[in-house]
A and B are shown apart, each in its own frame.
Chain A
């Protein structure tokens, strides 16, 4: 990976010196909360500036939605090292919960959404106790099995409307969902950012790096894994709960969408798995690309998704943030004289 970036980085390095990138990371690290608040304000601006409805409103809301999902996936997939192919099960359960509560029980939207999140968490607690005992291939396939089993069950029950799903007619305006998704995303980023500097976050990373050692340190890893899994399901479930109304329609295919599950993994990986900003950046980036392709070549967006996944995994599995960080940390290496003999030395001292 680093050998590759060295070969093509001559020009790049003079334009954007690694230590400036490093400094950028330092600034981001020191002012995380301020940056998050600033991003939230910037995100809240478009509707105030006149963007009330239409295509762009929907697209931006979807970006926030995918960012929520990608970041939730990353809590378990990136931070804890349990890559799940079944996160969309929480989404579908949340979506169906609100749809059923609103349509069949005439419960108000905010209450239904909270319930959706709680139902997803309860489901996650039960399923997590079972599948989190597995590792590697077995965990990944078991979660995929959970997703598809949930999809099949929803397809066959009467209360979920069977294969034709549920249509919701009375829904709030687009602005409501815009702020709802933005709000959930900001809260989630805050929570993940806060946790990444706590004992809880460190233990999750320890489980990812070496679960046996973490166990040997005396941590009840099952407890932490399940907690992370439930936290992820809470945000995914709430997002799903809002989605069924946002989309005005829900059926087993959209609610438990396996392709979406891969899409949000790709987003987390592209942006940088195991970071706070990475999955969000990845979600914004990939969703923009997919949206452009969808408008230009209808039906080809999933072909593109497959190709993006393959290229990302083979090309740069560290993602954008990870690759940048690697690039930034090269500077430290040069300062210690590591590659001084093979690389031009003046660049090293130029910015010091």
Chain B
């Protein structure tokens, strides 16, 4: 029974990891950049939601509905942040050495993280969402309602991104730029703008997920790098450019972490994730679902 309970917890958390990773994979696939500042978008999204809620209610507590209203705000703000970052900084290193692109995003990550530390201190914060009855039981398994809301929210965000990429004109432009930037430019797509939109959309999703993370875990300025690396684990596992792969990867990573926490100790979850990352990179760098990453 304990095993099933841990897996359920893991799946609930894993959807959030997956939604973060999907954005990370999108930037990787379209802009060809490993965005080491991706985790900072999660952090900023969490803080945006936190501060909006604090502004409205006076403390970071609220009804589920009120909390859900802050999500679009976080999404919009983070879209702006992502768009601006790509337009002003990241676009300048596209096409240069891979290492330089990594370093620029790492620089952005440090700058954002430290500015947040200066502004909001290192204290972990969290959003308290009040339910009349915080959890319910199905077949002996305890399901916290907020985790379920977060799970559904993350799935909705991932699905929305998928539909956006498949069905809309901008989404098609993004996929075109990902396949061949020159040809995309030839048929009249503004490549720079499309890349910035990609960056914005990815950051927006990360921001929305960050708000959910603020309710079920907590947020603090230095949380970002862990989410970036988890995204990397998931993307490597699922394959670059595969949204279903990222979803499966996220759910699996969540389960592995919860099982580690449950059966060994919660102190070992991160060590296990990072070791998993190294093992995966070495054993199966092309991923399980992906188109095969070029070395």
Residues of B within 8 A of A156 (CB): 265, 267-268, 271
Contact of A314 among B92, B111, B112, B271 (CB under 8 A): B92
Residue pair B271, A149 in contact (C-beta under 8 Å)? yes
Q: Smallest distance from the beta carbon of A209 to chain B beta carbons, Å?
A: 12
Residue pair B278, A299 in contact (C-beta under 8 Å)? no
Interface centre among B93, B113, B274, B275 (most CB of A within 10 A): B274
For chain A, residues 183 to 230, give those with C-beta under 8 angstroms from any C-beta of chain B: none
Residues of B within 8 A of A122 (CB): none
Closest to A156 in B: B267
With A130-B282, A145-B275, A313-B104 given, name 8 new contacts (CB 8 A): A85-B102, A137-B34, A138-B285, A141-B232, A142-B281, A266-B107, A300-B114, A313-B107
Interface bits B63-91 vs A (CB < 8 Å: 1, else 0): 00000000000000000000000000100
Residues of A within 8 A of B168 (CB): none
Q: Mind listing 12 A-B residue pairs with CB under 8 Å?
A: A83-B99, A131-B281, A141-B229, A141-B281, A146-B274, A152-B270, A156-B268, A299-B118, A306-B109, A307-B111, A309-B110, A313-B103
Known contacts being A83-B102, A313-B100, is A134 close to B89, with CB within 8 Å? no
Contact of A310 among B28, B108, B236, B282 (CB under 8 A): B108
Contact of A302 among B89, B104, B110, B267 (CB under 8 A): B110
A93 in the interface (beta carbon within 8 A): no
For chain A, residues 276 to 320, give those with C-beta under 8 angstroms from any C-beta of chain B: 299-300, 302-303, 305-310, 313-314, 317
* Complex Cα spacing A155 to B106, Å: 24
B219 in the interface (beta carbon within 8 A): no
* Complex Cα spacing A77 to B102, Å: 13
Total cross-chain contacts (CB, 8 A): 129
* Complex Cα spacing A211 to B20, Å: 34
For chain B, residues 252 to 295, give those with C-beta under 8 angstroms from any C-beta of chain A: 265, 267-268, 270-271, 274-275, 277-278, 281-282, 285, 293, 295
* Complex Cα spacing A334 to B215, Å: 65
| Chain A positions near chain B (C-beta within 8 angstroms) | 77, 83, 85, 130-131, 133-138, 140-142, 144-146, 148-149, 152-153, 155-156, 258-259, 262, 265-266, 269, 299-300, 302-303, 305-310, 313-314, 317
Residues of A within 8 A of B117 (CB): 299
Residues of A within 8 A of B281 (CB): 131, 134, 138, 141-142, 145
Residues of B within 8 A of A153 (CB): 271
* Complex Cα spacing A262 to B99, Å: 12
Residues of B within 8 A of A266 (CB): 103, 107
Residue pair A314, B104 in contact (C-beta under 8 Å)? yes
* Complex Cα spacing A77 to B285, Å: 22
Residue pair A142, B98 in contact (C-beta under 8 Å)? no
Residue pair B96, A306 in contact (C-beta under 8 Å)? no
* Complex Cα spacing A317 to B104, Å: 11
Residue pair A306, B114 in contact (C-beta under 8 Å)? yes
Residue pair B110, A262 in contact (C-beta under 8 Å)? yes
Closest to A263 in B: B110
Question: Chain A: interface secondary structure?
Answer: helix
8 cross-chain pairs, A with B, having the tightest CB-CB distances, nearest first: A306-B111, A309-B107, A306-B110, A152-B271, A149-B274, A310-B107, A83-B99, A145-B277
Q: Smallest distance from the beta carbon of A90 to chain B beta carbons, Å?
A: 16
Q: Smallest distance from the beta carbon of A256 to chain B beta carbons, Å?
A: 11
Residue pair B229, A145 in contact (C-beta under 8 Å)? yes
Residues of A within 8 A of B104 (CB): 309-310, 313-314
B156 in the interface (beta carbon within 8 A): no
Q: Smallest distance from the beta carbon of B223 to chain A beta carbons, Å?
A: 13
Residue pair B274, A145 in contact (C-beta under 8 Å)? yes
Q: Smallest distance from the beta carbon of A136 to chain B beta carbons, Å?
A: 5
* Complex Cα spacing A246 to B275, Å: 31
Residue pair A313, B93 in contact (C-beta under 8 Å)? yes
For chain B, residues 153 to 182, give those with C-beta under 8 angstroms from any C-beta of chain A: none
Residue pair B89, A148 in contact (C-beta under 8 Å)? no
Residue pair B110, A305 in contact (C-beta under 8 Å)? yes
Residues of A within 8 A of B113 (CB): 302, 306
B225 in the interface (beta carbon within 8 A): yes
Residue pair B89, A136 in contact (C-beta under 8 Å)? no
Residue pair A137, B102 in contact (C-beta under 8 Å)? yes
Residues of A within 8 A of B275 (CB): 145, 149
Interface bits B98-140 vs A (CB < 8 Å: 1, else 0): 1110111011111111110110000000000000000000000
Residues of A within 8 A of B89 (CB): 310, 314
Residue pair A144, B267 in contact (C-beta under 8 Å)? no
* Complex Cα spacing A148 to B103, Å: 17
Q: Smallest distance from the beta carbon of B142 to chain A beta carbons, Å?
A: 27
Residues of B within 8 A of A149 (CB): 271, 274-275, 277-278
Residues of B within 8 A of A83 (CB): 99, 102-103
Known contacts being A303-B115, A309-B107, is A131 close to B282, with CB within 8 Å? yes
Q: Smallest distance from the beta carbon of A316 to chain B beta carbons, Å?
A: 11
Residue pair B229, A144 in contact (C-beta under 8 Å)? yes
For chain B, residues 212 to 249, give those with C-beta under 8 angstroms from any C-beta of chain A: 225, 229, 232, 236
Interface centre among A133, A141, A266, A317 (most CB of B within 10 A): A141
Residue pair B100, A148 in contact (C-beta under 8 Å)? no
Q: Smallest distance from the beta carbon of B226 to chain A beta carbons, Å?
A: 8
Residue pair B232, A152 in contact (C-beta under 8 Å)? no
* Complex Cα spacing A302 to B267, Å: 27
